[in-house]
Amino acid sequence: MADQQKIEAAAAQLRAAASSGQACPPIRETLGTETDLDVGYAVQEINTNLAIANGRRVTGRKIGITSKAVMEQVGVDQPDFGTLFVDMEYGDGVAIEAGRLMQPRAEGEVALVLEHDLDHGEHSFNDIIKATAYALPSIEIVDSRIVDWNIRIVDTIGDNASCGLYVLGGKPVTLRDVDLRKIPMRMDIDGETASTGEGAACLGHPLNAARWLANVMSQRGTPLRSGDLVMTGALGPMKPIAAGSSVVCDFGPLGTVTTYVEQDES
């Protein structure tokens, strides 16, 4: 494992990139590792704790790298997680300010809101079903503080799982009213279909992804709690967006969700 000085330097590197709007070199170069997940999460934890100390409110967690398509895009073979904050959240149809993001890419996801804690250590599929209050259609706008998205697993983990913003639909759907494994996803950018997929693309079922996260968070001593939002992961390839882009994700019986990025008038 990298020494603490390197971990703190990598965390500072990411904070500087976020505050300046200028992407930084891969943190794996600072850390001296591409594959050590513990090192990546140590970097992430430093910046998460600083954000909380500075008053940012946690709303839940996101799961990344859950579809084979996205794994191929970023060259990794396992999921990761990051922390969601309330200032990352946008409602259906609300504009995203121009310049808020650095290298944004959009993807369609199933979001879950929990009604009960998931703190059993090891969780069953049924535990996830019982703990879920409802699902929502969502768009995650992933972003990278690493220049040109030149990332390996340790880079994206350290960079809060490449988290940018997220957009939630406004009509909750209970699990008894939808089969998340079979739901379709079509994402249109500027009126053209840019990405398609289905629930099964997310680790076979979005609830499998949530189960993975519940187990990992319990093992780390920070279990998922009632009221938490879980972004379960992409159902199809992520696609670049820019100032002026509009994004509509249609999930069939789960509903639709829309966002757009304001024009940059600077």
Name the amino acid, one letter, at 9. A
pLDDT confidence band for 75 (50 / 70 / 90): low
For tokens 């757009």, what's the residue?
260
* Residue spans of beta strands (DSSP E) within 115-149: 132-142
| Average pLDDT for 17-45 | 95
Between the CA of residue 212 and those of 8, 118, 154, 250, what are the distances in Å? 28, 11, 19, 25
pLDDT confidence band for 74 (50 / 70 / 90): low
What pLDDT does 266 receive?
59
For tokens 């990405």, what's the residue?
195
| Average pLDDT for 101-108 | 96
Query: pLDDT by residue (tens digit) across 214-236?
Result: 999 999 999 999 999 999 999 99
What pLDDT does 67 receive?
72
- Residue spans of the domains in the chain: they are 58-261
pLDDT confidence band for 98 (50 / 70 / 90): confident
| Average pLDDT for 155-169 | 97
**Residue 170: is it exposed, middle or buried by C-beta count within 10 angstroms (0-12/13-18/19+)?**
exposed
Query: pLDDT by residue (tens digit) across 171-209?
Result: 999 999 999 999 999 999 999 999 999 999 999 999 999
What is the CATH topology of the domain spanning 58-261? Fumarylacetoacetate hydrolase; domain 2 (3.90.850)
Q: Which residues of 65-104 are buried (b: 16+ CB within 10 A; e: fewer)?
A: bbbebbbeebebeebbbbbbbeebbbebeeebeeebbbbb
| Average pLDDT for 235-259 | 96
What pLDDT does 18 receive?
96
What pLDDT does 70 receive?
64
Nearest 10 degrees: CA dihedral of 85, 107, 71, 15? -30
More confident residue, 153 or 256: 256
Of all residues in the chain, what percent carry a pLDDT higher than 90? 88
pLDDT confidence band for 264 (50 / 70 / 90): confident
| Average pLDDT for 40-64 | 97
Name the amino acid, one letter, at 181. R
What pLDDT does 77 receive?
73
Q: Where are the alpha helices (DSSP H) in the chain?
A: 4-20, 27-31, 37-53, 68-74, 125-131, 153-158, 206-219
Judged by average pLDDT, the poorest of 30-34, 123-127, 178-182 is 30-34
